[in-house]
Amino acid sequence: MFWLTLIPVLLHLTRGNSPCFGHSLGISPSRTQFFKRDSLRLYCGADERIMTNSKSVTCSQKSHECNITLAGEYHSGSYWCDCSGERGEAVNITVTRGSVILKSPVHPVPEGTSVTLHCLSQKLDVVKPINESCTFSRNGLLIGVGLTGEMSFAAVNRSHKGLYTCTFSGVESPGSWLAVRATSSTESPPPTNHHLLLPLVYAGPPLLLMVLLGIVGGCCWRKSRKEAEEAASEDEVHADVVQNKTKKKERDRSDCESTCSYGESLQPQPIRIPDPPLYSLLGSNRSLQSVADTKCEQLWPPDKNFKR
């Protein structure tokens, strides 16, 4: 699937540097508007042929050149270069029976380049610039007056594109489209050898297979690594659970031992009953003296050998 997508890109790269690509239609003299009975020459690359949508063109379409000696209005139309079915950029050519034409760039111009429009006239089959005052319009709107038959732009941008006409002595020229191409540089990139890209075309399938194998292998490696990380994470969680259970058992056993030690310390001790107070010995029939004598006898027992 990727190889099918890559093929057009490779063909485009090789085609862009091939002799059959990149040639624009050449016109001599370099303009798109011509007077009736003008002479002009159209040409393409050696490996290309001229194509047009006009069915009345007298020159052969099998050649890469077309010389028109007496231009007629039937020569008006689009012309382009063709190479093996690849169509190049088309150029619109206009042949008019009027007396005023506009000379403008044949192909799109890059942004930032200077452009000059010329108003031309024909007298006795001779085309020459008009050195008098002319008016110039874009898309039907007046944009300025050229005192010498010219209108110049120092640096064109995308806003300058449009259909331009010039008017001299009340006669307006046919319209010519000015195309502006967006670019960051007015210099074209250096040409590259297209033969250097041919090995890439032949080496494409093996390279693509290696890339696909690398992608598949990378996906499998990431999947196995993820599974290993998940397994390691589960082992860590299990170890933490076991460790927490062990700590809980040790803590419970420690609490039990502490409780048991505390229970032993709470064993009942012999209770010493104090002597009854003196007043408890008093009876209802005993006098304080007899109680005193009794207490004295308890504290100092009488000596039997003593005689009063």
Angle at which helices 204-265 and 2-16 cross, to 10°: 130
Q: Which amino acid is at 267?
A: Q
List the Cα angle 43/44/47 in 5-degree steps: 135
* Of 207-221, 233-247, 268-282, minimum mean pLDDT range: 268-282
Three-state secondary structure call for residue 180 = strand
Banded pLDDT at 23 (limits 50, 70, 90) = low
| Domain 21-95, CATH | 2.60.40.10
Most confidently modeled of 134-138, 198-202, 277-281? 134-138
Beta strand 141-146 with 176-178: parallel, antiparallel or unpaired? unpaired
Question: Alpha-carbon distance 44 to 199, whole Å?
Answer: 29
The CATH architecture of the domain made up of 98-182 is Sandwich (2.60)
Residue with tokens 């452009």: 115
Question: Alpha-carbon distance 259 to 262, whole Å?
Answer: 5
Question: Alpha-carbon distance 166 to 145, whole Å?
Answer: 9
Beta strand 180-181 with 109-110: parallel, antiparallel or unpaired? parallel
Banded pLDDT at 1 (limits 50, 70, 90) = very low
Please give the pLDDT value at position 232.
Answer: 77
For the chain, the average pLDDT equals 76
pLDDT digits (tens, 9 = 90+) for 241-250: 677 777 777 7
- Please determine, for residue 72, whether its predicted confidence score (pLDDT) is greater than 80: yes
More confident residue, 189 or 96: 96
Distance, first Cα to last Cα, the chain: 141
Residue with tokens 């270069």: 81
Please give the pLDDT value at position 137.
Answer: 97
* Of 103-117, 263-277, 287-301, minimum mean pLDDT range: 263-277
Banded pLDDT at 304 (limits 50, 70, 90) = low
> Residue 152's closest CA among 168, 169, 164?
164
List the Cα angle 213/218/220 in 5-degree steps: 95
Most confidently modeled of 55-64, 142-151, 200-209, 213-222? 142-151
More confident residue, 122 or 298: 122
Give me the DSSP letters along 225-280.
HHHHHHHHHHHHHHHHHHHHHHHHHHHHHHHHHHHHHHHHHTPPPPPPPPPPPGGG
Please give the pLDDT value at position 13.
Answer: 47
Most confidently modeled of 117-126, 191-200, 285-294? 117-126
Please give the pLDDT value at position 210.
Answer: 81
Please give the pLDDT value at position 14.
Answer: 45
Question: Positive or negative CA dihedral for 122, 123, 128, 130?
Answer: negative
The CA–CA distances, whole Å, from 95 to 31, 32, 71, 240, 264 equal: 11, 9, 7, 93, 127
Q: What is the DSSP letter of 24?
A: P
Question: Alpha-carbon distance 44 to 87, whole Å?
Answer: 12
The CA–CA distances, whole Å, from 169 to 97, 121, 151 equal: 16, 11, 17
* Of 39-53, 95-109, 171-185, 291-305, minimum mean pLDDT range: 291-305
What's CA 79's distance to the chain center, in Å?
38
More confident residue, 70 or 187: 70
Q: Where are the alpha helices (DSSP H) in the chain?
A: 2-16, 198-202, 204-265, 288-299
pLDDT digits (tens, 9 = 90+) for 118-135: 999 988 778 899 999 999
pLDDT digits (tens, 9 = 90+) for 154-177: 999 999 999 999 999 999 999 999
Mean pLDDT of 138-145: 95
Banded pLDDT at 57 (limits 50, 70, 90) = low
